[in-house]
Amino acid sequence: MSGSDTPSQPSANGGRAHNLAPLRLHVPEPPHRPGDPVDFRHVHLPAAGSQPRPDETCPPGETHPLCNSLVRVLDDAGRAVGPWNPQLDPASLRRMLRNMALTRAFDERMYRGQRQGKTSFYMKSTGEEATAVAAAMALDFEDMVFPSYRQQGILISRGYPLIDMINQIYSNRADRLKGRQLPIMYSARSHNFFTISGNLATQLPQAVGWAMASASRGDTRIAATWVGEGSTAEGDFHSAMTFAAVYNVPVVFNVVNNQWAISSFSGFAGAERATFAARAIGYGIAGLRVDGNDPLAVYAAERWAADRARANLGPTLIEHFTYRAEGHSTSDDPGAYRSAQERAEWPLGDPIARLRDHLVALGEWSEAQQAAMDLELAEEVRAATKEAEKNGILGHGLHHPFKTMFEDVFEDLPWHLQEQAEQAIRERRIKWPEWKE
Amino acid sequence: MTVEEAPVSLQDAPGRRLTMIEAINEALDIMLTRDPDVVILGEDVGYFGGVFRATAGLQKKHGKNRVFDTPISEGGIIGVAVGMGAYGLRPVPEIQFADYIYPGLDQLVSEAARLRYRSAGEFIAPMTVRSPFGGGIFGGQTHSQSPEALFTHVAGLKTVVPSTPNDAKGLLIAAIEDNDPVIFFEPKRIYNGPFEGYYDRPVTPWAEHPDSLVPAGYYATPLGKARVVREGEAVTVLAYGTMVHVAGAVCREKGVDAELIDLRTLVPLDLETVQKSVEKTGKCLIVHEATRTSGFGAELSALVQERCFWHLEAPIERVTGFDTPYPHSLEWAYFPGPVRIGEALDRLLGH
């Protein structure tokens, strides 16, 4: 026991019963801190293809063993093996690869844009592209997704225009959200992508409610929602799981366990005692735990859960076991709390490289094609960025008119907001006399 | 309390008298019938018909897809209602007591209130959160609170409080039809009869009150419009919910020629009616049951002071609950009743 773990001596009036060992508070500690050598031997990795695939109609309890295992399809040689292999055709696999690579290229450029002062904030999804892209591709376009802030891959998979994403990030005059939202808090009703909130886990009961509405209408659409492992500690996680179980709701819960919630490792969300997938069992919900860096396993699990929901067999919780390869956001330096070697040593590798190797092993892709695609995607993002910059970047004056700040608080503008809008416009005329609206 | 002017649409009323609970039940029934998107959810609202009977008979008539019981999770109730609204339904969640709305506060403040704004109108939250509130029933700390100021402070929420069966029905219908999220606080003390602040007198049933005349069928009472309960010259009295009746009774008993205004909607506020009245009377008394500090009365007082400063002949008076949690045994020492209101009127009229 290290010195810092020694319980403080009981105070004079806080006497202890004799002959009993003192109680001790357990505060979790991650396995590696900055400068530590990295050892991931505690991460249990079953062989790809060794997990059974129960029928989508199975009772929830039957999935319990899978909650403590790891569904994997791609083996170390890049082959797709076992009952969870979704048997996707090469064209679909190449589309999946492209969506993930585009997501990464987009992240790279937007991160640089923030560093260049073009916007205030950005969050990458590096290393987690499969959990958004492969999952989204397993759903129907009409299914409503309730994402957290790290699923930009869904928008990219659904063909949402990059320029609209960049306009939002730059908060410029073409921003569909009129500059009201922090960068990356997208909303895209046209693509069945629910408005992202800064408040963690609120989207979980909302997804359940949406799916309850769909079921009550005899619709055929389902909902899917994403949350990080850190946010499963929020009360909304519990209420969402409870409501989903009670009403047998057609919803898929995706818990992206990337090991880190800003600087707190997953132990602070309870990972030391149980997997996140295993929580499903206590609610009477099917659970799956998948290799989140194996796009085929992610696709297969999401498809299994979606088919189950669509067949009125209720909710599924999928834990995507992955790793947050970069900082939490542009405001974060992970070097301050975790070992720099973690990313390189992460035993599940990189989702893009693994799918690339699979396609190469199939003879459907090559290193040269990969290099050409990467160049092409970087150019596509660059062109969209240049186009978006014509609409302005943050703080350079090209934004929506002042009056729009007061619109959409309510459907109509009540008198008090009308008055405040006039005030804002009066202030603008004083501050910037040459202004043309 | 005599009412000089008939409430809206009474000319068509066939003289039906309802309690506030019956009026609320009727409003819900009408909206379930008129609009297939309306759904009711909450604890004990389904089979049982609600702990106050507000939803009695509705599940049987409209089915379990439309009216259903929920787990005991206020955050869950509001959260799924937000999702249902995003789908296109018009949910009417019930929170059993306003004192228990706090677990749903994050979903109301961070989500429902901001959905339209943050999505630039792509997603809306056309929901009406019904919740019994207010004291005077020996409810103690957690069956008596009036948390309206927590909601009036939130941009994007509308807050409504009816004081009569006629308004309860009309305002609830308007709230359900409104495309913005509405907090609809029902003063539970006056569910079954008006209350004038004298706990030791027998309760008058609604049947003997003019505002219990409730027209059959559909009518909506517009949000954002106050009701002048009584016209007067001496002082403007601003109140809502139970306190409309308490303040009205005190003025009547003291023979004060008060202009009594039932605000009905707190946000958006009918400032025009308030301002016109205070400009006429030069004096303003604000009465609410909620605690004093940062209560809605503070906002009313500030607005009256800003708008009517040159007409004011006396300091604006606020009669409120005390700044303590709502007590049980000392309920009638806490409740802003006739004595406290009477003193404030004396101070105002002495000026």
Please give the pLDDT value at position A399. 83
Q: Which CATH number does the domain housing residue B242 bear?
A: 3.40.50.920
Closest Cα in chain A, distance from residue B139 (Å): 27
Does residue A210 contact residue A249 with C-beta atoms inside 8 Å?
no
Contact B111 A235 (CB under 8 A): no
Contact A187 B120 (CB under 8 A): yes
Phi, psi (degrees; rounded to nearest 5) at A147: -85, 170
Which residues does chain B have within 8 Å of residue A148's beta carbon, measured at their own beta carbons?
A: none
Q: Do B155 and B235 fall within a single domain?
A: no
Please give the pLDDT value at position B14. 59
Contact B79 A204 (CB under 8 A): yes
Does A263 lie at the interface with B, CB-CB under 8 angstroms? no
Q: Do B52 and B123 fall within a single domain?
A: yes
Residue B11 scores a pLDDT above 80: no
Contact A410 B110 (CB under 8 A): no
Please give the pLDDT value at position A1. 43
Question: Which one of B38, B67, B108, B117 makes the best mutation probe of the A interface by having the most chain A beta carbons within 10 Å?
Answer: B117
Contact A187 B79 (CB under 8 A): no
**What range defines the domain where residue B33 resides?**
15-190
d(CA B287, CA A385): 57
CA proximity to A71, closest of A130, A4, A9: A130
Please give the pLDDT value at position A3. 46
Closest Cα in chain A, distance from residue B39 (Å): 9
Please give the pLDDT value at position A13. 61
Scanning A138-177 for CB atoms below 8 A from B yields: 144, 146, 176-177
Does B271 lie at the interface with A, CB-CB under 8 angstroms? yes
Contact B224 A144 (CB under 8 A): no
Q: Do B151 and B280 fall within a single domain?
A: no
User: Would residue B129 count as lying in a domain?
Assistant: yes
Please give the tally of structural domains in chain B.
Answer: 2
Query: What residue has token string 């880190």?
Result: A260
Please give the pLDDT value at position B7. 41
Q: Do B305 and B228 fall within a single domain?
A: yes
Please give the pLDDT value at position A96. 98
Q: Do B165 and B26 fall within a single domain?
A: yes
d(CA A432, CA A420): 18
Scanning B160-179 for CB atoms below 8 A from A yields: 178-179
Q: Do B179 and B229 fall within a single domain?
A: no
Residues 6+ apart with CB under 8 A from B261: B226, B227, B228, B229, B236, B237, B238, B239, B273, B274, B277
Does residue A259 contact residue A38 with C-beta atoms inside 8 Å?
no
Please give the pLDDT value at position A318. 99
User: Would residue B278 count as lying in a domain?
Assistant: yes
Mean pLDDT, to the nearest integer, of B139-166?
97
A314-353 residues labelled b (16+ CB within 10 A) or e (exposed): bbbbbbbbbbbbbbbbbeeebeebbbebbbeebebbbbbe
Q: What is the DSSP letter of B219?
A: -
Scanning B40-69 for CB atoms below 8 A from A yields: 65-66
Closest Cα in chain B, distance from residue A409 (Å): 5
CA atoms within 13 A on the CB side of A286: 28
Q: Do B184 and B306 fall within a single domain?
A: no
Does B100 lie at the interface with A, CB-CB under 8 angstroms? no
Residue among B106, B120, B267 whose CB faces A199 most closely = B106
User: Would residue B2 count as lying in a domain?
Assistant: no
- Which amino acid is it at B220? A
Phi, psi (degrees; rounded to nearest 5) at B289: -80, -25
Please give the pLDDT value at position A397. 74
Question: Which one of A171, A212, A217 makes the best mutation probe of the B interface by having the most chain B beta carbons within 10 Å?
Answer: A212
Q: Do B163 and B88 fall within a single domain?
A: yes
Please give the pLDDT value at position A435. 76
Q: Do B243 and B131 fall within a single domain?
A: no
Closest Cα in chain A, distance from residue B65 (Å): 6
Closest Cα in chain A, distance from residue B110 (Å): 7
| CA A316 to chain CA mean position, Å | 17
Q: Do B247 and B335 fall within a single domain?
A: yes
Contact A236 B88 (CB under 8 A): no
Q: Which CATH number does the domain housing residue B57 bear?
A: 3.40.50.970
CA proximity to B206, closest of B169, B258, B252: B169
- Which amino acid is it at A67? C
Scanning B290-349 for CB atoms below 8 A from A yields: none
Contact A195 B87 (CB under 8 A): no
Question: Which one of B37, B72, B87, B270 makes the best mutation probe of the A interface by having the most chain A beta carbons within 10 Å?
Answer: B87
User: Would residue B59 count as lying in a domain?
Assistant: yes
User: Would residue B239 count as lying in a domain?
Assistant: yes
User: Would residue B211 count as lying in a domain?
Assistant: no
The active-site residue out of B143, B209, B245, B288 is: B143
Q: Do B52 and B171 fall within a single domain?
A: yes
Residue among B84, B107, B179 whose CB faces A213 most closely = B84
In terms of CA atoms, which chain B residue is nearest residue A215? B65
Give chain A's residues under pLDDT 50: 1-3
Residue B143 falls in the annotated catalytic set: yes
Q: What is the DSSP letter of B107?
A: I
d(CA B259, CA B247): 11
Contact B111 A199 (CB under 8 A): yes
Residue B116 scores a pLDDT above 80: yes
Which residues does chain A have within 8 Å of residue B226's beta carbon, measured at their own beta carbons?
A: none
Residue among A178, A202, A415 whose CB faces B110 most closely = A202
pLDDT averaged over every residue in chain B = 95
Closest Cα in chain A, distance from residue B192 (Å): 33
Phi, psi (degrees; rounded to nearest 5) at A414: -70, 165
Contact B111 A178 (CB under 8 A): no
How many CB pairs below 8 Å do chains A and B form together? 144
Please give the pLDDT value at position A7. 54
**Starting at the edge strand that comes first in sequence, how are the strands of the sheet with B258-262 ordered?**
B227-230, B258-262, B235-239, B284-291, B317-321
User: Would residue B39 count as lying in a domain?
Assistant: yes
Does residue A398 contact residue A180 with C-beta atoms inside 8 Å?
no
Q: Do B185 and B232 fall within a single domain?
A: no
- A322-347 residue pLDDT tens: 999 999 999 999 999 999 999 999 99
How far CA A254 is from CA of A251, A284, A302, in Å, comes to: 10, 16, 9
Question: Cα dihedral sign for A294, A297, A298, A300?
Answer: positive
Does B180 lie at the interface with A, CB-CB under 8 angstroms? yes
Please give the pLDDT value at position B2. 36
Residue among B118, B122, B155 whose CB faces A189 most closely = B122
User: Would residue B198 count as lying in a domain?
Assistant: no
